[in-house]
Amino acid sequence: MFDLVLKNGNLITMNNNDEILYNKDLFIKDGKIVAIKETSNKNKLDCKKKYDVTHKYLLPGFINTHTHIFQTLLRGIGADLNVWDWFETALDENVSNLKKEHCFISAKLGAMESIKSGTTTILDFNYPHPTGFLVDECFDAFSSVGIRSIVARAIIDQGKAHPKIINDSEKEINDCIRLLEKYHQNDNDMQHVWLAPYTIFSTSLQTYKRIVKLANEFDTSVTIHASTPSTIEESKALYGMNDIEFQYSQNLLANNVLAAHCTTDIDKSVLDILKKCDVKISHNPASNCYLGEGIAPIAEMLDHGLTVGLGTDGPASNNNHDMIFIIKLTALLQKVKYLKPEAISAETVLRLATIEGAKCVGLEKIIGSLEIGKKADISIFDLSSLNTVTMHDPIKSIVYSSNQNNVSDVIINGKFILKRREFLEQNENDIIATAQSLGEDLVKNLEVS
Ligand SMILES: [Zn+2]
């Protein structure tokens, strides 16, 4: 007996052959895709539930490889300031005031916003630790919404950049171990714990080395902000070389490292290092624009054989969690960067948002494509709306014409989370009202906003 059949859908599979399968019934059992068959009335036998998806397009859910979920309460704070003033205004002051209730509601609302734009897995680079147990609030919120989550527990323990949010290394490492033991790979692969040196200048070298060792012991991964104007400037001042070269010189780069941004100083020698170490890249085009950090050379990275995924970055530098916007921006910016429309294709960008993103977070065996045996993390697109008709090619329509209103339904781990654009288990209006109130509470003592 199957749990659910999605009847008569068109499947944009993102499998190795980039197949689009038309008029198929997709069967789900125990959270996984267990069969894909030609549509037929006979297929309704042996199914607890069926859902008609005629004329709709089923995609593997998007994988957001980099955000800071607490910034959901900080949209627009520090806008249009230079990056160092933005750090101080938008982040440090507020991070040091975060309480449990801020972290819970920001994660809850951010997860719901993500799902409405078709995202089913989110990587939260989490660095608000003024008091204990704030990461637990994020996991609780993600779990209550039903999104698949990776929380990368970050450590800031040195430097002049973030004086108000520096914490004691020993205490922080102990909390990493606690979180790994409590949450990593828990709950049917819905929760994962990673570790995150914040940048090469805000995390001490000694702590970074301990983080790498700990990640290997727990068979997990590491993510870091890298190769931005600020990380390069500070790395050159501290270590006399850019941050990727420095990490390489210290044996800190490996195939379980995800580098976020990589907009600047990415010449051939740096690409060679990233390729040699099989470092994964999280591309965050909206944030890179917002903070004036440049356009990452994604087309060259792909030519070089690197694995690249997409991310929104935090809503203090984007200012949302809309992966559909990120998908279109990725395509457009590469065309502008190289002054060539053929610099990157819609098909390639959609792969970055799905199966390549899954590789970036080390979960390509369980998510990222619609294939038998994989988790049923599925976004359903209705492309019969004013902004998408006339629809000639579903992939080009999703990448260049669609917006989040085209996401009609979202299934995560085999369960409907969003149905006909309504959350089945969340009161959206109550959560919006609470988030507005707690966001105002968080910034009430801020001098500049
Ligand atoms: Zn970031």
Q: How far is ligand 1, taken at its centre, from the CA of residue 28, in Å?
A: 35
Q: How far is ligand 1, taken at its centre, from the CA of residue 332, in Å?
A: 21
Widest distance between CA atoms in the chain = 69
Q: Which domains does the chain have, with CATH numbers?
A: 2-60+374-423 (2.30.40.10), 62-360 (3.20.20.140)
Of 179-193, 294-308, 373-387, where does mean pLDDT reach its minimum? 179-193
> Quick one: pLDDT band at residue 449, thresholds 50, 70, 90?
very low
Q: How far is ligand 1, taken at its centre, from the CA of residue 134, in Å?
A: 18
> In terms of pLDDT, which residue wins out, 446 or 95?
95
Distance CA(205)–CA(199), nearest Å, equals 10
Distance CA(11)–CA(60), nearest Å, equals 9
* Residue 87 scores a pLDDT above 90: no
Distance CA(356)–CA(352), nearest Å, equals 5
Q: How far is ligand 1, taken at its centre, from the CA of residue 260, in Å?
A: 7
Q: How far is ligand 1, taken at its centre, from the CA of residue 26, in Å?
A: 36
Q: How far is ligand 1, taken at its centre, from the CA of residue 295, in Å?
A: 15
Residue 410 near residue 118 (C-beta atoms within 8 A): yes
Mean per-residue pLDDT, 316-330: 96
* Residue 346 scores a pLDDT above 70: yes
- Residue range 145-196, pLDDT digits in tens: 999 999 999 999 998 878 888 999 999 999 999 999 999 988 889 999 999 9
- Residue range 33-72, pLDDT digits in tens: 999 999 988 766 788 999 999 999 999 999 999 999 999 9
Q: What does the mean pLDDT of the chain come to?
A: 95
The share of the chain scoring above pLDDT 70, in percent, equals 99
Q: How far is ligand 1, taken at its centre, from the CA of residue 311, in Å?
A: 9
The per-residue pLDDT for 447 is: 64
* Residue 448 scores a pLDDT above 70: no
Q: How far is ligand 1, taken at its centre, from the CA of residue 75, in Å?
A: 14
Q: How far is ligand 1, taken at its centre, from the CA of residue 294, in Å?
A: 15
Q: What are phi and psi of 2, to 5 degrees?
A: -85, 155
The per-residue pLDDT for 21 is: 98
Q: How far is ligand 1, taken at its centre, from the CA of residue 282, in Å?
A: 10
Of 45-49, 305-309, 372-376, where does mean pLDDT reach its minimum? 45-49
Q: What is the DSSP string of 59-95?
A: EEPEEEEEE-GGGGGGTTTTTTS-HHHHIIIIIIHHH
Q: How far is ligand 1, taken at its centre, from the CA of residue 362, in Å?
A: 19
Q: How far is ligand 1, taken at its centre, from the CA of residue 46, in Å?
A: 46
Local structure of 230: helix, strand or coil: helix
